[in-house]
């Protein structure tokens, strides 16, 4: 049979360039015959396991983390099943590459390492026709959108359209950590310009070369986008990511009752902090309502965490006033107190009666907190003197150094354990290597939002939830904390190992679905008992394995 069949031969080439269906050298002999692939591949048929081995070998040969990131993104462009098999099976190794801390560097270099477009870019030039732009996306059953406007990427600030690396990375974690199908994921960047001069002057920058939209023009643009999402993808979860403080809180309040949405920097971070505090309390012997917290930073992650912690403390028996009284914040101008007249609205509910304090160490001495939480985006703010002061006050001081990427962390794991003589209960936003103090090996827990948002998203997608509520995040936090074993805590980790994250996400999803059902927010018919509900959720989790495509030609013509 001649192989010069025009469109049939073209269909085989097209299949090899479709990352959702491409298997590369793993296409079987029957598939190669049926799909017009004979001669387009080397004759040897390999298994997915063979391909994983090759991919790992090539990834590990790369010179550094950014080069590994580029390699893995190219792999995803070619073969998504293989990419996700590599990530799922080697999550400890791959997450720091496809997400924090490496994704921060990738965003900074995005225009320089660009290979092919990913996701949708909705720019200020698309005003009036955003629906048409969304309809250009080839997949119709989109269930999760992660959107950024690039103004506050991690702790790196305004990166404009270069911020696309964040929604791409977040959605990779939705797939790898919770089994949302890649076809149902859509990364979006709202390109409203950038105020960073070096980007505007960079000839390789790919975004709009204009200052950021602000005020009514910005709001109208985001409104049009949100309305367009509801029309084009009516069953989707819309996750806001890395918006600046001045927009993040008000956009959440603007849309949370109108659409199925949440802000991961506010609510996802809050849930992982709450889970960490509950888990840390099992080490220190102090329950959640006994904690006294001092947070460095008073932005969206910090205040969002305070709000969720307060609601959890109220669930555990405190009044609103008592719960807020246990949460203190320290911003760039000092302790947040009632006498200050420079406080943004989101800080005012945590402005307590106290004399002003302009020094964080002095605030520790005055307030004697059980825990300090770093959400400042400022590197090395937890000094030796600060950690040692907290260690004098408490036998097991809680130190959460959560700013990302690693270069912005308030202190390292080695510093926290070393300065506290091995007594600190430590967690960080970015990964740190194990530390040995006095012959004991500590494995620092990573307070990564990946423990929360994928499972919450899975529960929302599985149930068809119409809205996202704070009780879902409290349930997610308590579920996550319950998954930390005594063995984990003995090594110093207050979060479960990343190798268990798909199982943890499934359990979080079940807890979320129960909340959805209890609140009457579901659009799907859900099982009544817990065991059936867990099966229902797990059956909906995408598994990165190859499926036979040999029948495609007979059922749908050419591939």
* Residues with active-site annotation: 99, 170
Contacts with 254 (C-beta within 8 Å, 6 or more apart), sequence order? none
- Which residues are registered as beta bridge partners of 123? 191
Q: Measured between alpha carbons, how far is 350 from 306 in angstroms, rounded to an integer? A: 9
Alpha carbon distance 542, 61 (integer Å): 29
Separation of alpha carbons 341 and 348, rounded Å: 10
CA dihedral 392, 393, 394, 400 (to 10 degrees): -90
Radius of gyration from C-alpha coordinates of the chain: 24
Residues 292, 326 contacting (CB under 8 angstroms): yes
Q: Tokens representing 63?
A: 């010179």
* CA–centroid distance for 392 within its chain: 35
Please give the Cα distance from 162 to 242 (Å, whole number). 12
CB 504 within 8 A of CB 512: no
Largest CA distance in the chain: 88
Give dist(CA 367, CA 373) in Å, integer: 14
Which residues have a Cβ under 8 Å from the Cβ of 435 and sit 6 or more positions away? 413, 414, 417, 418, 441, 442, 444
Reduced 3-state DSSP string for 215-262? HHHHHHHHHHHHHHHHHHCCCCEEEECCCCHHHHHHHHHHHCCCCCEE
DSSP H or E run through 187: strand 185-191
Report strand pairing: 327-331 vs 334-335. Answer: antiparallel
Q: Which two tokens stand for residue 56?
A: 């790992």
Cα 393 off chain centre by: 34
Phi, psi (deg, nearest 5) at residue 66: -65, -40
Question: DSSP string of 29-56?
Answer: HHHHHHTT-TTTS-S----HHHHHHHHH
Distance between CA atoms of residues 284 and 160, nearest Å: 43
Distance, in Å, from the CA atom of 62 to the CA atom of 58, rounded to the nearest integer, reads 7
Taking CA atoms, 7 is separated from 36, 138, 217, 552, in Å, by: 10, 21, 47, 16
Residue 147 has φ and ψ, to the nearest 5°, of -125, 140
Cβ within 8 Å of residue 49, ≥6 positions away: none
Q: Which helix (H) or strand (E) holds 505?
A: helix 501-519
């Amino acid at each position: 049979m001649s192989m010069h069949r025009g469109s049939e031969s073209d269909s085989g080439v097209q299949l090899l360039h479709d990352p959702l269906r491409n298997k590369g050298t793993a296409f079987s002999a029957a598939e190669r015959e049926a799909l017009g692939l004979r001669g387009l591949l080397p004759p040897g048929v390999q298994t997915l396991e063979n391909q994983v081995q090759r991919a790992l070998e090539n990834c590990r040969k790369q010179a550094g983390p950014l080069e590994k990131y580029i390699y893995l993104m190219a792999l995803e462009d070619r073969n998504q099943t293989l990419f996700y098999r590599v990530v799922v099976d080697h999550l400890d190794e791959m997450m720091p590459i496809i997400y924090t801390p490496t994704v921060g560097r990738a965003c900074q270099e995005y225009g320089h390492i660009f290979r092919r477009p990913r996701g949708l870019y909705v720019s200020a030039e698309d005003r009036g026709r955003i629906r048409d732009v969304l309809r250009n996306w080839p997949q119709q059953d989109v269930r999760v959108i992660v959107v950024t406007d690039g103004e506050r990427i991690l702790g790196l600030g305004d990166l404009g359209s270069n911020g696309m690396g964040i929604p791409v990375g977040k959605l990779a974690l939705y797939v790898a950590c919770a089994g949302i199908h890649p076809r149902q994921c859509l990364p979006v960047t709202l390109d409203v310009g950038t105020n960073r001069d070096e980007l505007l002057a960079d000839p390789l920058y790919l975004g709009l070369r204009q200052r950021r939209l602000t005020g009514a023009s910005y709001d109208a643009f985001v409104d049009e986008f949100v309305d367009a999402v509801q029309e084009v993808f009516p069953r989707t979860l819309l996750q806001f990511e890395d918006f600046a403080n001045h927009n993040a809180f008000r956009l959440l309040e603007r849309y949370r009752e109108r659409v199925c949405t949440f802000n991961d920097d506010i609510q996802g971070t809050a849930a992982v902090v709450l889970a960490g505090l509950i888990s840390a309390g099992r080490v220190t012997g102090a329950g959640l309502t006994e904690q006294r917290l001092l947070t460095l930073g008073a932005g969206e992650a910090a205040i969002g965490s305070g709000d969720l912690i307060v609601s959890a403390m109220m669930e555990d028996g405190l009044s609103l006033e008592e719960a807020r009284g246990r949460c203190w914040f320290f911003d760039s101008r000092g302790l947040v107190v009632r006498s200050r007249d420079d406080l943004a609205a989101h800080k005012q509910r945590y402005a307590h009666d106290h004399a002003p304090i302009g020094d964080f160490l002095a605030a520790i001495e005055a307030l004697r907190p059980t825990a300090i939480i770093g959400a400042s985006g400022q590197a090395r703010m937890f000094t030796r003197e600060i950690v040692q002061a907290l260690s004098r006050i408490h036998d097991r001081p809680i130190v959460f150094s959560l700013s990302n990427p690693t270069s912005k962390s308030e202190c390292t794991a080695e510093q926290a354990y070393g300065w506290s003589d091995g007594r600190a209960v430590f967690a960080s936003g970015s990964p740190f290597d194990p530390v040995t103090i006095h012959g004991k090996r500590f494995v620092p827990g990573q307070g990564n939002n990946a423990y929360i948002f994928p499972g919450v998203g899975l529960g929302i997608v599985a149930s068809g939830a119409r809205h996202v509520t704070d009780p879902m995040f409290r349930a997610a936090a308590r579920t996550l904390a319950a998954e930390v074993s005594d063995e984990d805590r003995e090594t110093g980790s207050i979060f479960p190992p990343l190798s268990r994250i798909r199982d943890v996400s499934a359990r979080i999803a079940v807890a979320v679905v129960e909340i959805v059902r209890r609140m009457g927010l579901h659009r799907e018919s859900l099982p009544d008992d817990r065991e059936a509900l867990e099966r229902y959720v797990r059956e909906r989790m995408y598994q990165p394995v190859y499926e036979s495509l040999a029948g495609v030609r007979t059922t749908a013509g050419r591939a």
